[in-house]
A and B are shown apart, each in its own frame.
Chain A
């Protein structure tokens, strides 16, 4: 076995050895023409995932960070964009504008209606700089025949990843240092492939080490979308190989001798295949660990270079990371502040809040919107702000003469957010009276109707940082490791199935990319780890022990009902290559087999305070109540009055948390392809008073699929786009066929401290906790007041003139 793998390693690396000897091109001269090497055109594909490449709605925009090595930058280049439009896009009004580093390099008005079209633009030399650059594609599209806002969901332009690329001549992209890792070419789906070369995949130590190296590589390379494989056959594809072992092991496996002594690493690169190899080594295990530690810390500290636009695009890639207290402009967050000419304006701001955020109403995110809308629009237009899909606030845009909104304040209570990726959708309906009748004049109306300026701001308040379990939304952004004291993560992959291991490594890679930290993962392959606080279990249903399933809060009987008979390793389903287009929040996508998803996903996307969406206060209840009176007769009036009163009372009680709506049961059907669940319980390890106050919390997070193929398929689908953001609450069920996510939110929450003691943080946590446990708060408050009144009475009676 070792020999075989050694042979594989050897063959794949031979070419590396050979080409490493290639020198830079020599100048041509007569007679030596055979020795000149004319370097071919160098292609740098844009790293587009399926979701990234889709521009929906009347004004779609995408900002891609593209990494240029020093060699590539400052060279003349051509940008090739291959795109396809929906048929419903009106050709006359279609426009696609391409900007590189915020400078317009070209535009097109050619609507393609089904056949991919390639736009080829010259990029002037000097525009691209070394490091990260931004390629920004903006489309303006309107519907051919329909003037309704809903029809805008049918509009899309898709950029084809396999043909969209930057082309350079007379240059080669060399990956010489770790900071050049972003230059690794992605595969046709926009994912970066990392191959871990392991001698024995059942050895948990080598898995642990390999995972750390992979995460470090992900951090250096700033890969958003990573697929990690173990010993694949990919010698001639672009990607990264990772080899971790002592010098002797590396020599045995690859035949390479890495120069130097002590802890060291080496990066090798094959320009022809585009494959890089990262080797981390030392003389012995201790040095190996030191090497990995050094690599990890350098990876965490590495600062990205590039143009301001490029760095901005990079920062917004996974949602802008905020820690609390920042004020950002919409422009920083990638908003396109071009005048909008359509009927339904939709832009999304993505914020990545800390994974140990306590989402409760102790503060609010403040949007100060600078916007303007044109005169003579229809009545009933409004600007709606949604947080994670739930509408929170709206502004009516009903002035006949148009209006300029100057820093109009919109409050988004903290309770509407969640740890990890949050989306703030800003949606504006801008219909004109003509859109009602929808004559050709109206269809072609390209008047500017609305503008949301980039100077608008988002203010994030101080955030309370404490882990709350169960809450699966904090798992992916790296929350689990924060919960443990040692900042490590225990992974349980039963039976060490290769696909499950690969999925785990890919998941660790995504965690690293989101959290910016290298998690010290420990793999447990034989049985569930004992004596550890937090466990992440990944596997197929057939392999996972029942105890683990129960610990995650899932009833194994339900699973067996749904997935009965699915063997752990079924025949390979459609390979990862086929990009399944999935719907993100608020976006409508037509699936390849013409199943249209609903305009708004039905999943109960809730944050931990799931009542936010309906909460609009008893004022509106009263208003509705009065409305009832007006429209009915006397008996009906009495009935509706009673019902209204009952509503108000129930609403108050419900809001106060005194009456809890029963949480819905999680439905697992045979079509469900993934279950993500977290179960937490408190356990007092010792009897000290601090343990009683803040008991130790144990948790098990489970990622389970019927088969290992579906496991890797579903997890990849979730992680590659922004679907993973939909995982909230205690458990979620994902169905890869139609892309739906159903969640269950648990009322009981255990708190796990994640940050050192800090007065401000403790205060916010206390406030957040109190605001979510209103009955307790009320009891404490009024208890204190009753006692206080008694004390006051005593003091008053004994003061002043005796009575």
Chain B
């Protein structure tokens, strides 16, 4: 009843507000409104007010946006009389309105992000049985060993935890393939992995045929296991020990819970961060989604399955018939199906796994293409608007998630729009300079402020635009192909752990150079026209600035496609702990600095001869209840560097057995607090002004770097691979 009254009141208030806002009141009134709104927003942002003021902030932003939409719709569209102006004008208008709609939906999604209380801790006998699935396709054994070891090592009653390796690289179909190379590789893989699993105490599963890719693989795993809860880890997503303790408890509280999702957290840089060298300073791209958006979705019971680092309830999956396989993002689709059947989900904002993301630009694009294609398949074939069983809030949330991937379309349109005016003088926007300032400029400032206020901590200014642009070039054709045939787009598995050996230009680079060239030509044209046609100065200046912004982004993208050499084959995870290094006769106490799949870096005090390339043994304290006091890792001295009193000694692992892998896994992933600390340290915002300045600086530097690569590093310099 009270809710009905609240809703009614809200409707009336919205109606009155719209009535006042949607009035043709002229530019002076518009300036007044916009100025008051922006000042209010700025005040709230600078004073960092929360609660009611947060809603007011977005309300004021929405007001400016509404005024812009009203003006744009009623007064600026070119007339139908001249089709050559009308069609592009309407297309650009459509793109802008799409952005407004997406903004509105995203404001709804993050209206009130929630933080869940900690999972209740269950006693041993009340703990449910848990099956851990690690699906794999072509990852190599040492990577899998670490992940499986970490999974096996999770803090949980041992009798209730089973770990399965689901190998799609060694299926019967592959092993019996008529192609001898394929069948031989498959067979060898199968044997190797079966051996590994035996040593690690993990179950090896495979299937007859490769159907439905990962979804089919997981569903097959479901069929051959019995645990009440199912945990999914990607092959390179190693869990920390407390993973299950932080997630399983929720299932006992809510019988309708089907999913507990945890954030994906990466120890390596994505190609953009790597090639722009921002990994250490700037928050990762996925932070925005996992720190804020998922928490917002959680409020609306729309947190969805992201394919890994999640716990699912078997009964729910069985009710849905296994993992959904219609789209290639089977994770989100499964969640959609289960949400529409009335199941609930929740999100825990605590990184409990550490993983790897694609290294090369090509693999990054491949991954994003897959996500984009899959989400659009869901949008086209299982549209959340029409799906029965979803609440209104869930529909909006899923719609927002799916439609987000349409971003390449407006982005490409915004790239092309200034060109239409600069080269062909099409009058696609009917406005005076003063109106443009009062409406469009204020809208952009409001949008920027809202973006900064909502995501400032986890996303620096203009970085979203850069990511969108970089992906749009290849996602745009992908979207076209999905729309043409939703059921059968091509599927590329992301290759993880693919290292780049040289500093070289990515194979995918040429469209970026082409676009950069066109934008550069347009900028020159702007200068030329400004010189020759002073009367077009106002409009041309604005369009020129827009084009300049695109140019800077395109220049930055040139840097992105200039791949940096990855000197390390294996990624390091900062760790802590002490140990004793036994080299020949010397025993040194060392502090562990970082650990990777292939070796370690330790800091040694004290005297003692250490010879390069000599074999050694590292003793690390064992965990409680393991029988012995120490574990021993066979290592080789790879490098020694003196640093005042200390010595930094680089070690590589010698032959590793199953036990050794589990020690390493524990070192790397046992306790993620160091990693979490680093992640938190990166989550510092950048003010809009500083961020813009930085963006400009990057743009210039990266453009030059990209051009240098284009001229001199097209096929890559021969660089020596150095192992860690």
Binding site for B on A (CB under 8 A): 360-363, 379, 382, 393, 395-400, 407, 409, 411, 413-415, 611, 615-619, 652, 655-656, 763-764, 766-767, 770-771, 774, 777-778, 780-782, 784-801, 803
Contacts and interface: CB of A to CB of B under 8 A. Distances in A.
Contact of B25 (A615, A619, A777, A793): A777
Contact of A409 (B6, B111, B430): B430
B533 interface: yes
Nearest to A405: B535
B52 A793 contact: yes
B300 interface: yes
The main secondary structure of chain B at its interface with chain A is: helix
29 contacts: A360-B26, A362-B26, A397-B535, A407-B82, A413-B27, A617-B434, A617-B438, A767-B23, A770-B29, A771-B28, A771-B29, A774-B28, A774-B29, A778-B33, A778-B36, A781-B63, A785-B17, A785-B60, A785-B63, A788-B16, A789-B55, A789-B59, A791-B13, A792-B10, A796-B112, A798-B6, A799-B393, A800-B301, A801-B300
B21 interface: yes
Contacts of A656: 28-29, 31-32, 35
Contacts of B27: 361, 413, 615, 617
A796 B537 CA distance: 47
B716 interface: no
B535 A396 contact: yes
B14 interface: yes
A619 B29 contact: no
Nearest to A788: B13
A767 B9 CA distance: 25
B300 A398 contact: no
A409 to B, nearest CB: 6
B127 interface: no
Interface in B38-84: 52, 55-56, 59-60, 63, 82
Contacts of A770: 20, 23, 25, 29
Contacts of B534: 379, 396, 398
B299 interface: yes
Contact of B59 (A379, A764, A785, A801): A785
Contacts of A360: 26
A589 B35 CA distance: 46
Most buried by A among B28, B433, B435: B28
B437 interface: yes
Contacts of B56: 785-786, 789
Contacts of B60: 785
B404 to A, nearest CB: 20
B298 interface: yes
B16 A774 contact: no
Given A409-B430, A619-B434, A801-B299, A790 B25 contact: no
Contacts of A793: 52, 55
A409 B431 CA distance: 9
A767 B30 CA distance: 12
Contacts of A362: 23-26
Interface in B516-547: 532-535, 537
Contacts of A786: 56
Contacts, number: 155
B9 to A, nearest CB: 5
Nearest to B116: A801
B7 interface: yes
B13 A803 contact: no
Nearest to A414: B26
Nearest to A792: B55
Nearest to A654: B28
B432 A411 contact: yes
B298 to A, nearest CB: 7
B124 interface: no
Contacts of B59: 785, 788-789, 792
Q: Across chains A and B, which 8 residue pairs bring their CB atoms closest together, nearest first?
A: A361-B26, A396-B535, A617-B434, A771-B25, A656-B32, A788-B13, A767-B23, A791-B10
Contact of B24 (A767, A788, A795): A767
B33 A781 contact: yes
A611 B27 CA distance: 12
A770 B20 CA distance: 9
Contacts of A407: 82
Contacts of B438: 617
B16 to A, nearest CB: 5
Given A617-B31, A785-B17, A801 B23 contact: no
Contact of A652 (B13, B26, B35, B535): B35
Contacts of B430: 409
B484 interface: no
Contacts of A771: 23, 25-26, 28-29
B53 to A, nearest CB: 9
B507 to A, nearest CB: 46
A414 B535 CA distance: 24
B29 A791 contact: no
B3 interface: yes
Contact of A781 (B20, B35, B82): B20
Contacts of B393: 799-800
Given A362-B25, A413-B26, A774-B29, A801 B114 contact: yes
Contacts of A789: 52, 55-56, 59
Most buried by A among B17, B63, B300: B17
B25 A398 contact: no
Contacts of A800: 112, 299-301, 393
Given A361-B27, A398-B534, 20 more contacts: A398-B533, A399-B535, A407-B82, A411-B435, A617-B31, A619-B434, A655-B28, A656-B35, A764-B24, A767-B24, A767-B25, A774-B29, A778-B33, A785-B17, A789-B59, A800-B301, A800-B393, A801-B298, A801-B301, A803-B114
Contacts of A400: 532
Interface in B427-477: 427, 430, 432-435, 437-438
A424 B32 CA distance: 28
Nearest to B20: A781
B33 to A, nearest CB: 7
A314 B391 CA distance: 67
A797 B112 contact: yes
Contact of B31 (A396, A652, A780, A799): A652
Nearest to A408: B427
A782 B38 CA distance: 13
Given A362-B24, A789-B59, A792-B10, A798 B3 contact: yes
B21 A781 contact: yes
A729 B633 CA distance: 96
Contacts of A395: 535
Nearest to B391: A800
Given A618-B31, A793-B55, A784 B20 contact: yes
Contacts of B114: 801, 803
Contacts of A778: 32-33, 36
B17 A615 contact: no
B533 A399 contact: yes
Contacts of B32: 652, 655-656, 774, 777-778
B21 A796 contact: no
A797 B6 CA distance: 11
A784 B532 contact: no
Nearest to B2: A798
Interface in B91-123: 111-112, 114
Nearest to A791: B10
A250 B186 CA distance: 124
Contacts of A382: 535
A795 B6 contact: yes
Contact of B9 (A361, A791, A796): A791
B532 A788 contact: no
Nearest to A803: B114
A371 to B, nearest CB: 12
Nearest to A366: B430
A784 B299 contact: no
A399 B13 CA distance: 53
